[in-house]
Amino acid sequence: MATRKRSLIAAAVTVVCAVTVLAAPGTAFAAPAPTPSPSSTSSTPVSTEELETVRKKLDKLYRAASSATDAYNAAEEKAEQQSAEIVALAKKIAKGKEKLRELKKRAGAAAAAQYRTGGLPPEAHLMLSDDPEEFLDGTGRVRQGERATRHLIEEMTRTQQDLELYAKDASAQWAKLEANRKAKAAAQKKIEKQIAAAEKLESQLEKEELQRLAELEEQAAYEAQTTWLSSGILDELHGTATEQSKKAVEFATAQIGKPYEWGAEGPKTYDCSGLTSQAWATAGSVIPRTSQQQWQQLKHIDIEDMRPGDLIIYFDDASHVGMYVGDGAMVHAPRPGREITIAGAGSMPILGVVRPDAG
């Protein structure tokens, strides 16, 4: 049985697609419990080396899913923005058409008035007039009317040009919206594929082996955190939270225990950047939706200047984010199958730190 199980796991590991690593769940401040010894009455378990291979493969799969989740969230956000822009353009087009109808109505009335007073040259009107002074005053008004008519025609032309521009912009926005819908669908397909592969790999393990796997995950996080702390980084961290960042931390930590769900922004489930963006929105600052956008658009600060509420961006592709809460710890939504938790700030490779508030 053990040989067959090893073959199944080896096959699953070979078939499953590998990308890069998403972090370990759970607290990272106490040494993990020792791996239990196999019972003499049970079948030979999967070896620690084989489980470590599985752990690394799962990390890579979930990191791939996390990166795809960022792409999905970005495409969704762009699609929402483009939908709003299309609605705004539609309103402008409707308003422009109404304006054009009114201008045409005014132009028709002006043309009719000119027609009624036309037919003879101005000299003839002057000769036939009983009151030449009144006629000359009337001539001035006619010229004013001609200028107003010319301006009316110019305004009609500009309105028509605006309508053509709005229609062109709306067509371009529709094309972008369709492209982002396709990008969103492709990202969703990749997420589902990576998570399904990870779940298939985990399904090959018995309950006791899954427990040992969780302990290996915790061990890896503990070792990374210990290495990070051994640099003396805590001696450098003296930043004080602002009132706004305290609110963000309070919100984020209040979500501890809620499940991770890719693409989710609460209130029952979150992904990593959904948690951080909602925490800061609650604190009064609207920040970018994805961890990659947060890394690109928010203010970068040195790790030594980090204070509670700052966001720690992880991995070279900025595919994960957590919120620093102080004392070398951060709160984050780790990955599918895990819950929002407190973990060591150094339990994953840190790309950098960004600050949502300028206070």
Please report how the helices 48-117 and 132-203 are oriented relative to each other, as an axis angle in degrees rounded to 10: 170
CA 35 to chain centre: 39
Active site (annotated) includes residue 151: no
- Choose the catalytic residue: 125, 151, 272, 300: 272
Q: Supply 111's token pair.
A: 């043309």
Burial of 68 (0-12, 13-18, 19+ CB in 10 A): buried
Burial of 22 (0-12, 13-18, 19+ CB in 10 A): buried
Query: Residue 330 forms beta bridges with which residues?
Result: 324, 343
User: What are φ and ψ of residue 326, in 5° steps?
Assistant: 105, 160
Active site (annotated) includes residue 125: no
- Choose the catalytic residue: 17, 125, 238, 320: 320
Q: Supply 57's token pair.
A: 């493969």
Q: Evaluate whether 226 touches 286 at the Cβ level (below 8 Å).
A: no
Q: Evaluate whether 324 touches 310 at the Cβ level (below 8 Å).
A: yes
Quote the radius of gyration of the chain (alpha carbons, Å).
Answer: 34
Query: Residue 326 forms beta bridges with which residues?
Result: 329
Active site (annotated) includes residue 300: no
Residues classed as catalytic: 272, 320, 332
